[in-house]
Structure 1
Amino acid sequence: MPQLDSLHPIIEKIINNIEKLMVGKRKETILALTALLAEGHVLLEDVPGVGKTMLARTLSKSIDADYKRIQFTPDLLPSDVTGVSIYNPKELQFEFKPGPIMGNFVLADEINRTSPKTQSALLECMEEGNITIDGITNPFMPSLNIYIRYASRRICKLVSVLQYDSYRPLFTITSLLRFTGR
């Protein structure tokens, strides 16, 4: 891994690139970059319309990462996040079709709206770096981009819009410990 001094100009370039499109989000940008470099995850909580999604998109483009977005809803299934095994009649076997969590840079939006079972599937991916489907464990796909080789576990930027009391609480205390920054 390169020395921190050699990364400084790259980090400054990424921050400056993001600040061309977003004003007033330097703290959140640095938090997301810190999580990225630490191979961790960041949780950003705020009201709608303040740039959380734009920050995720801009940061992923700045590092040339594969961006995926998961919109969490009450009816979302764990397999909608992780992927599924689909039978291939030509090969006479099941093939794994990866879900959006397999992206290099994943935005999980409004996770407080989904079921605890789907939240658990997301947290397993974050914590262990692999996905278990039908009793078979599949590791994350290796990064194809050299710019993000130091973040091979993928950064999950999770958004909680806590605007309605009727939604489920976001996470338990132990679940929140899986995030590098909040």
Structure 2
Amino acid sequence: MRRQPLPELPAGVSVGSHGTYAAAQRAVDFLSDNKFPVENVSIVGSDLKLVERVTGRLTQGRAIGIGAGGGAWWGLFVGILLSLFTPSGGNAVVVIVLAIVIGLVFGVLFGWIGYRATGGRRDFTSMTQVVAGTYEVICRPDHAEEARHLLARLALQTGEL
């Protein structure tokens, strides 16, 4: 079995530093729009932070509702798969509806059990993401001067220096 190489940071020269990913992405997009060979460019985030944004309160009813929704979606998926194998005289709609109902029941059950298992230690919902403090646009050295020139034009156009 062949081992995969460990991930490495891309090599290159910094041609711009940005406070947001959107700004770094805008810079690379500008390079692309100006026919720059963007395959020589990478965006590298530094000073990583894990951010958990609390999106709301989790009640027993909401946990059951979330479980029901997820179970219904799984039931729909399984029902469609099973309906593909029903005999031509069989009723595929009945199979799909039955699978949705079974998925919904299991989703309600697992949502309720999951909520009760936490014992009130986590009564909120959240989304987690990794955010960088700065985003460097780096470029291979043989193309760095051209990239800097183009990004200087972008800075003059937008007023971002």
TM-score by length of 1: 0.22
Please say which structure displays the higher CA radius of gyration. Answer: 2
Normalized per residue, which structure has more helix?
2
TM-score (norm 2): 0.24
Tell which has more relative contact order, 1 or 2 (C-alpha 8 A, sep 6+).
Answer: 2
